[in-house]
Amino acid sequence: MAGRARLGIKGIRLKTLEVEGSGDTAHEVGQYELLDAAGRTVDRGKYVVIWQKEGGRFKLHRDIWTTSLPPAK
């Protein structure tokens, strides 16, 4: 959380595109957008989350994200 603040990130928008599960695991695919204090987009991209059921509840097991913006010059 502190790292996010140092980067000036004040908000996040997540859009889930797909969720599929089987047994004790599920995966989620979506898009994210990171916002600064003025509501401007700082970064946007895609993410994948793997959920695992523990104690009757799904908990985040693994996640990965990648930006859709070109590298800074």
What pLDDT score was predicted for residue 6?
56
Chain center to CA of 12 = 9
Taking the alpha carbons of 17, 48, 14, 69 in that order, is the dihedral positive or negative?
negative
Entry pTM: 0.80
Q: Where are the domains of the chain?
A: 2-67
Does the domain at 2-67 match CATH 1.10.510.10? Answer given as no
What pLDDT score was predicted for residue 73?
78
The pLDDT tens digits of the residues spanning 19-56 come to 999 999 999 999 999 999 999 999 999 999 999 999 99
pLDDT band at 1 (very low <50, low <70, confident <90, very high): very low
Contacts of 66 (CB under 8 A, 6+ apart): 45, 46, 47
